[in-house]
Amino acid sequence: METIEKFNNNVMQTYGRYPLVMEKGKDRHCVDENGKNYIDFGSGIGTNSLGYCNDKWVDYVCNQVKSLQHTSNYYYTKIQADFAEMLCSATGYSKVFFGNSGAEANECAIKLARKYSFDKYGKGRHNIITLVNSFHGRTLCTLSATGQEVFHNYFFPFVEGFINVEANNIDDLESTINNSDNSICAVMLEYVQGEGGVNALNQDFVDAVFEICEKNDILVIADEVQTGIGRTGKLLAGEHFGKKANITTLAKGLAGGVPVGACLADEKCSGVLTAGTHGSTFGGNPIACAGGIAVLETVMSEGFLDEVNQKAELFKSELLKIEEVESVSGLGLMIGITLKDKKAGDVVKSALERGLLLLTAKEKIRLLPPLTIQNDEIKEGLEIFKTILEE
Ligand SMILES: *Cc1c(COP(=O)(O)O)cnc(C)c1O
């Protein structure tokens, strides 16, 4: 109680927090300050992709801390070079810009898309289409990009230049672009909308986006902040759709729990951001890069993603056996669960009491377990989940 009181007396109350004071963790389990054990199906919102304090990740991060924790981006570091090369080569992108969060990665993508268009066509072609129910971050610009009216309050004026189209509505997309007076420079999308309710886009819609964009020299920005780096069973979720966006943004799981953001650009637009046009004091920080290398080496290792897919199948088949589960959405280990009668928020609270950490997304339960979760741990957690749903 002492911690919670101290916390609430001193930290801004921007979150509805659960009464859990987390003290430590190892792999898929964490322990609160009273010594109670939890199995984690949330990974700190898909961030601890290798679980808590994964051995290799700890080694890489600690070794880096002991040699160089930070230097300004006026100098080079080998570790940033190594991480950048590894990330570009694994994803097939030409260049990367490092920031520290998903919102920053998206800010970079938005600036890049606008400058690409400005350089080529001059002023006026600055609008970006984003999808209804999307989520792109909490900075003023990424909030403006987010296609949910609930977020467009209090902070007026918002950043101009975002037009919303309904996800999976090709007619809406086409008419918006045709009526835009050639003012669109990019379409930004999440292949699986995370905060919006774990909804995957349709292949037809994704095909239409890429086709129309290609035809009109409009860039496609894939916000893979939540879906990227193995979360969906592929390194990037775009692979499920056979697509590579001009720009892809990454963050959450990329460095296994150290703050990082990355904006990847393909050959068409990798030269757009030039000296002085963008920057970040902490971006590409050596500790973040060390964490990122540990994650990438693990996720890219032989058979790792096959296992992610097998575990996703196990989750799905076990979940569908539960009477109270109406349906399961998402891709890979990004799982949305629609319940028949129970409220997601109530289930999350009961689960907490019983030692299971869950997330919600809109009216659904959302699972983003560590990619390293084991089959017996999946069963252990789902047993608790099932008990709650059957009460
Ligand atoms: C979480 C998230 C963001 C914002 O990331 P932050 O690190 O909180 O800034 C942006 N886009 C998507 C798809 C996300 O899931």
The answer to the question of residue 58 being in a domain is no
What is the model's pLDDT at position 215? 97
User: Do residue 287 and residue 363 come from a single domain?
Assistant: no
**CATH code: domain of residue 151:** 3.40.640.10
User: Do residue 225 and residue 116 come from a single domain?
Assistant: yes
| Pocket residue to mutate for ligand 1, from 133, 134, 136, most atoms within 8 A of Cβ | 136
Q: Is the CB of 137 under 6 A from ligand 1?
A: yes
The answer to the question of residue 48 being in a domain is yes
User: Do residue 228 and residue 286 come from a single domain?
Assistant: yes
User: Do residue 182 and residue 108 come from a single domain?
Assistant: yes
What is the model's pLDDT at position 79? 98
The answer to the question of residue 63 being in a domain is no
Q: Is the CB of 103 under 6 A from ligand 1?
A: yes
The answer to the question of residue 59 being in a domain is no
Q: Which atom of ligand 1 is nearest to the CA of 142?
A: 10
Tell me the CA–centroid distance for residue 144 and ligand 1, in Å: 14
Q: Which atom of ligand 1 is nearest to the CA of 104?
A: 9
Q: Is the CB of 190 under 6 A from ligand 1?
A: yes
How many Å apart are CA 127 and CA 384, to the nearest integer?
47
Q: Which atom of ligand 1 is nearest to the CA of 226?
A: 15
Tell me the CA–centroid distance for residue 383 and ligand 1, in Å: 30
| Pocket residue to mutate for ligand 1, from 135, 231, 331, most atoms within 8 A of Cβ | 135
User: Do residue 133 and residue 282 come from a single domain?
Assistant: yes
pLDDT at 43 over 80: yes
- Reported in sequence order, the residue ranges of the chain that DSSP labels E, i.e. its strands, are 22-26, 29-32, 37-40, 95-99, 127-131, 162-165, 184-189, 192-193, 199-200, 219-223, 247-250, 261-265, 325-331, 334-339, 356-357, 359-361, 364-367
Once rounded to an integer, what is the mean pLDDT over residues 124-139? Answer: 98
pLDDT at 116 over 80: yes
Q: Which residues are catalytic?
A: 135, 223, 252
The answer to the question of residue 132 being in a domain is yes
Once rounded to an integer, what is the mean pLDDT over residues 342-355? Answer: 98
User: Do residue 199 and residue 156 come from a single domain?
Assistant: yes
Q: Is the CB of 100 under 6 A from ligand 1?
A: no
Nearest to residue 27, comparing CAs of 335, 299, 333, 370?
370
User: Do residue 130 and residue 209 come from a single domain?
Assistant: yes
User: Do residue 293 and residue 306 come from a single domain?
Assistant: no
* Residue 101 binned pLDDT confidence (cut-offs 50, 70, 90): very high
Retrieve residue 123's tokens: 């002023």
The answer to the question of residue 61 being in a domain is no
Domain total in the chain:
2
pLDDT tens digits for range 136-180: 999 999 999 999 999 999 999 999 999 999 999 999 999 999 999
User: Do residue 263 and residue 132 come from a single domain?
Assistant: yes
* Residue 97 binned pLDDT confidence (cut-offs 50, 70, 90): very high
pLDDT tens digits for range 235-294: 999 999 999 999 999 999 999 999 999 999 999 999 999 999 999 999 999 999 999 999
Domain boundary among 282, 299, 316: 299
Q: Is the CB of 151 under 6 A from ligand 1?
A: no
Q: How many CB atoms lie within 10 A of CB 313?
A: 12
User: Do residue 22 and residue 111 come from a single domain?
Assistant: no
- The neighbouring-strand residues paired with 31 are 24, 37
Enclosing domain of residue 276: 68-299
Domain boundary among 242, 276, 299: 299
Q: Is the CB of 197 under 6 A from ligand 1?
A: no
**CATH code: domain of residue 329:** 3.90.1150.10
pLDDT at 1 over 90: no
The answer to the question of residue 134 being in a domain is yes
* Residue 53 binned pLDDT confidence (cut-offs 50, 70, 90): very high
User: Do residue 289 and residue 310 come from a single domain?
Assistant: no
What is the model's pLDDT at position 174? 98
The answer to the question of residue 62 being in a domain is no
What is the model's pLDDT at position 105? 98
Q: What does the mean pLDDT of the chain come to?
A: 98
User: Do residue 222 and residue 346 come from a single domain?
Assistant: no
| Pocket residue to mutate for ligand 1, from 14, 225, 229, most atoms within 8 A of Cβ | 225
Domain boundary among 276, 299, 322: 299
Nearest CA to ligand 1 atom 15: 226
